[in-house]
Amino acid sequence: MTLTANVNTQYREGDQPQYISLSFGKTNYLVPQSSIVAIETLSDVNLEKAGDNVSPCLSYNNSKLPLYSLSEQLDIERSISSTKTICIILEYQGRRIALMCTEATPFKYDITKITPLPECMRALPNPIESVCLCKIGDESAVYFVISATALFKYIDQCST
């Protein structure tokens, strides 16, 4: 399946926050903005059927990028839901992928601490690298941080 779209950038380079909050349904994760090449909205989407074991791809800047989506439980989804209309282009060591989500917003809350994911939570493959504690008003909140490094490794592990 190939996804072709006219895209519109949602933010400009100088306006990027430290983290972007990505929503996959009702679940939110943080991604460091330093690994994000672009955040795009999709319009005029065309899907083409491909083989069952072929990942969908996105035509972007004269290249085709593998296109992925995650469920609320962080499972890799083989089909792209029509509710996921935001595309994040991520880069790690010169390799790029496109990740579909339902929403991507600048994370503007005060981060109090970022802690690596405990070893016991790394037993199964997952893209989560750390836990972020933050203040939202008078309340404390916990977010999981997905790094490009961990996401690329997770996709590679799940694809083999």
In-domain check, residue 44 = yes
pLDDT in tens, 111-151: 889 999 888 887 778 899 999 999 888 988 889 999 899 99
Give residue 24's domain range.
2-108+148-159
Dist CA 1 CA 47 (whole Å): 6
- Domain for residue 119, yes or no? no
Q: Is 30 inside any structural domain? A: yes
State how many domains the chain has: 1
Is residue 133 one of the residues assigned to a domain? no
Name the residue among 10, 29, 11 with its Cα closest to residue 19: 29
Q: Does any domain span residue 121?
A: no
Contact 88, 96 (CB under 8 A): no
Please indicate, yes or no, if residue 135 is contained in any of the structural domains. Answer: no
Does a structural domain hold residue 91?
A: yes
On whether residue 138 sits in a domain, the answer given is no
Neighbours of 120 (CB within 10 A): 6
Taking the C-alpha atoms of residue 115 and residue 70, their distance in angstroms, rounded to an integer, is 23
Burial of residue 129 (number of CB atoms within 10 Å: 0-12, 13-18, 19+): buried
pTM summary value: 0.78
| Position 68, amino acid | Y
